[in-house]
C-alpha cells in the first residue's frame, strides 16, 4: 500500500529450471520418453503379472517354439546369466516349459504352454491399447517414420560397436 514495491531479494534462487541445452540432445529426449513409456507399460502389464522383460521373452517363445535360452538372450540383447531368472519366473508360473533339447543335451528347449499363449494374447491386447494411447498425437506417417528413425539409429550405433 504505502510501501515501496518489493525490492528484488538478494538471493540467487532459481524460479524456472531451463533445460534448453539438454533438450537439443536426442539422447536426453529419448531417455525422458523411454522412462514414461516404460512406466506406462509396466503399469499395463502389471495385471498379468508380467514385466517388460518377461513379456518380451514370452512373445518370443510363443512365436518361436523350441528356441534355446541363448537364442532368446541374443534376440533380446541381454546376457545369458540374466536370462536365467526371466525364464525361471515364466516356468514357475507354468507359462512355458523348459526341457533339455533332444538334438543337443546342453540346450534348453523353450515352449509356451496353453496358459502361456492365452496370457500372451491377453497381454498383447492390453499392450496394443497402451500403444494406441501413446501414439494418439501421431498419424500413420509419423509413426512409421519414428520406428524407421529408431531402427536406423540402432543400426548406426550397433555397427559402430561391432566395427
Partner DNA sequence: TATTGTTATACTCTATAACTATA
Partner DNA sequence: TATAGTTATAGAGTATAACAATA
Contacts to DNA by CB under 7 A:
35, 39, 51-53, 68-71, 73, 78-84, 87, 98, 104-108
What, of a second copy, DNA, none, does residue 79 touch, CB below 5 to 8 Å by kind? DNA
What, of a second copy, DNA, none, does residue 69 touch, CB below 5 to 8 Å by kind? DNA
Task: Indicate the residue among 51 and 93 with the shorter CB distance to DNA.
Answer: 51
Closest CB 93 distance from a second copy, rounded Å: 20
What, of a second copy, DNA, none, does residue 122 touch, CB below 5 to 8 Å by kind? none
Closest CB 57 distance from DNA, rounded Å: 10
3-state secondary structure of 110: strand
Task: Indicate the residue among 92 and 160 with the shorter CB distance to a second copy.
Answer: 160
Task: Indicate the residue among 92 and 105 with the shorter CB distance to a second copy.
Answer: 105
Residue among 69, 94, 100 nearest 84 (CA): 69
Task: Indicate the residue among 1 and 14 with the shorter CB distance to DNA.
Answer: 14
What, of a second copy, DNA, none, does residue 129 touch, CB below 5 to 8 Å by kind? none
Structure-block grid coordinates of residue 38: 516404460
Cβ(64)–Cβ(116) under 8 Å?
A: no
3-state secondary structure of 99: strand
**Alpha-carbon distances of 112 from 75, 87, 121, 161, rounded to whole Å:** 17, 11, 12, 34
Distance CA 53, CA 90 (A): 11
Residue among 126, 64, 65, 51 nearest 93 (CA): 51
Closest CB 2 distance from a second copy, rounded Å: 26
Amino acid at each position: 500500500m504505502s510501501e515501496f514495491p518489493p525490492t528484488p531479494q538478494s538471493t540467487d534462487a532459481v524460479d524456472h529450471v531451463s533445460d534448453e541445452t539438454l533438450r537439443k540432445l536426442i539422447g536426453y529426449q529419448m531417455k525422458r520418453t523411454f522412462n514414461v513409456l516404460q512406466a506406462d507399460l509396466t503399469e499395463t502389464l502389471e495385471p498379468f503379472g508380467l514385466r517388460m522383460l518377461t513379456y518380451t521373452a514370452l512373445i518370443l517363445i510363443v512365436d518361436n517354439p523350441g528356441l534355446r535360452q541363448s537364442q532368446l538372450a541374443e534376440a533380446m540383447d541381454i546376457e545369458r546369466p540374466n536370462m536365467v531368472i526371466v525364464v525361471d519366473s515364466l516356468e514357475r508360473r507354468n507359462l512355458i516349459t523348459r526341457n533339455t533339447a533332444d538334438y543337443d543335451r546342453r540346450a534348453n528347449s523353450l515352449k509356451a504352454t496353453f496358459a502361456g499363449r492365452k496370457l500372451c494374447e491377453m497381454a498383447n491386447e492390453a499392450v496394443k491399447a497402451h500403444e494406441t494411447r501413446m501414439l494418439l498425437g501421431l498419424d500413420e506417417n509419423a509413426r512409421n517414420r519414428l520406428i524407421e528413425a529408431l531402427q536406423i539409429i540402432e543400426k548406426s550405433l550397433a555397427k559402430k560397436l561391432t566395427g
